[in-house]
């Protein structure tokens, strides 16, 4: 495979100075990204081969940190994102520290460049190619997903880690990296579309709602027919090149209600169920139109007994409403935790 057979010398920059390990303590102290990189690398235990001696794994994790910080220091236009370490560790495990630094630096300024902007705008734009590809192949599946308002959030970690974060078999990860390295930078989104198309029946059997479809698609089966899907993704790229889908992708950005926006709507609905909001809406609903106008201008007269009655009603309804809202918020998906557990 291309990734396994890659050969070459390390960077010639004077900052290289013999390897990424020379980044040293000064680079760690000066880097604004160090703490986040450190946290992400510490959480990356499952990316290392099972049975690897702890001392060896810890040494590789230190190299991983230094590679990332060195690339960011040399390229200030690049911005670290959570998931970048999943890509770097793949190269580190296959070709070693020196060559991995050179390869990933080149990759970061080309294939991964859009993910390393200050904002996620370009990443979202790439995700917006997903639904038009599905629509070209299977309009029924596309319409079902649109009705469910699932958006494309489920595919975010697939795209920005080249599936390295979601696949447990390292052989499959390396095979996909070989494929993506040899192809157009948008090929990962075509492969994402192929996975969704392959799982058509599972999706259509789901309840047509955001939570159900998002949960299903977030869990990638580990026994996928990768060679078949790779071939299919290549065929779709030839049939429906990015240039033909650009307009649909732009329209998707305007029309799509993503899972994140649906979650915001849920939070708003939960806030509107607060006891004070419920009582205020009910009180206004009981007023006649002329009384509503008067209510805006004058404070309603109430005696002490009415106030006590309202307070008692507020306490009773408040306890019930808070219980409902608490249960609802516990159910609400925590998208960042789902994407990067």
Lowest mean pLDDT among 210-224, 269-283, 288-302: 288-302
Band (297; pLDDT cuts 50, 70, 90): very low
CA dihedral 113, 117, 120, 123 (to 10 degrees): -10
Whether the predicted pLDDT of 283 surpasses 70 = no
Would you give the DSSP letter of residue 123? H
Per-residue pLDDT at 31: 82
3-state secondary structure of 102: helix
pLDDT digits (tens, 9 = 90+) for 78-116: 999 999 999 999 999 999 999 999 999 999 999 999 999
Whether the predicted pLDDT of 127 surpasses 70 = yes
Whether the predicted pLDDT of 117 surpasses 50 = yes
pLDDT digits (tens, 9 = 90+) for 178-201: 999 999 999 999 999 999 999 999
- The CATH code that applies to domain 2-116 is 1.10.8.1310
DSSP for 223-259 reads T--HHHHHHHHHHHHHHS-HHHHHHHHHHHHHH---H
pTM of the model: 0.69
The per-residue pLDDT of the chain, averaged, comes to 78
**314 contact partners, CB below 8 Å, separation of at least 6:** 275, 276, 279
Q: CA angle at residue 120 from 254 to 32, to 5 degrees?
A: 160
Band (27; pLDDT cuts 50, 70, 90): confident
Whether the predicted pLDDT of 9 surpasses 70 = no
| Residue labelled with tokens 């810890």 | 58
Domain spans, the chain: 2-116, 121-258, 272-338
CATH of 121-258, one of 1.20.1260.10, 3.90.400.10, 1.10.472.80, 3.40.50.970: 1.10.472.80
């Amino acid at each position: 495979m291309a990734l396994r057979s890659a050969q070459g010398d390390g960077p010639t920059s004077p900052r290289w100075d013999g390897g990424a390990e020379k980044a040293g303590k000064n680079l760690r102290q000066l880097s604004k990204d160090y703490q986040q990189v450190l946290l992400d690398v510490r959480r990356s235990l499952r990316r290392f081969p099972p049975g690897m001696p702890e001392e060896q794994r810890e040494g590789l994790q230190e190299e991983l940190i230094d590679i990332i910080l060195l690339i960011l220091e040399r390229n200030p236009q690049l911005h670290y994102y959570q998931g970048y370490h999943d890509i770097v560790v793949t190269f580190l495990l296959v070709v070693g520290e020196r060559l991995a630094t050179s390869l990933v630096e080149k990759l970061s300024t080309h294939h991964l460049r859009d993910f390393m902007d200050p904002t996620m705008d370009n990443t979202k734009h790439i995700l917006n190619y997903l639904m038009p590809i599905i629509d070209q192949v299977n309009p029924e599946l596309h319409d079902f997903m649109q009705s469910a308002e699932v958006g494309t959030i489920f595919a975010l970690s697939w795209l920005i880690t080249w599936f390295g974060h979601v696949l447990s078999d390292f052989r499959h990860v390396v095979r996909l990296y070989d494929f993506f390295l040899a192809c157009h930078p948008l090929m990962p989104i075509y492969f994402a579309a192929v996975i969704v198309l392959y799982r058509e029946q599972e999706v259509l059997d789901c309840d047509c709602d955001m939570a159900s479809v998002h949960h299903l698609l977030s869990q990638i089966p580990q026994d996928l027919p990768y060679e078949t899907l790779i071939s299919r993704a290549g065929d779709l790229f030839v049939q429906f090149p990015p240039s033909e889908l650009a307009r649909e992708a732009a329209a998707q950005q305007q029309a799509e209600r993503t899972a994140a926006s649906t979650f915001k709507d849920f939070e708003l609905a939960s806030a509107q169920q607060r006891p004070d909001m419920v009582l205020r809406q009910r009180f206004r609903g009981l007023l006649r139109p002329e009384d509503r106008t008067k209510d805006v201008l004058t404070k309603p007269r109430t005696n002490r007994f009415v106030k006590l009655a309202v307070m008692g009603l507020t306490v009773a309804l408040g306890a019930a409403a808070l219980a409902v809202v608490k249960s609802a918020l516990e159910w609400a998906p925590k998208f960042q935790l789902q994407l990067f557990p």
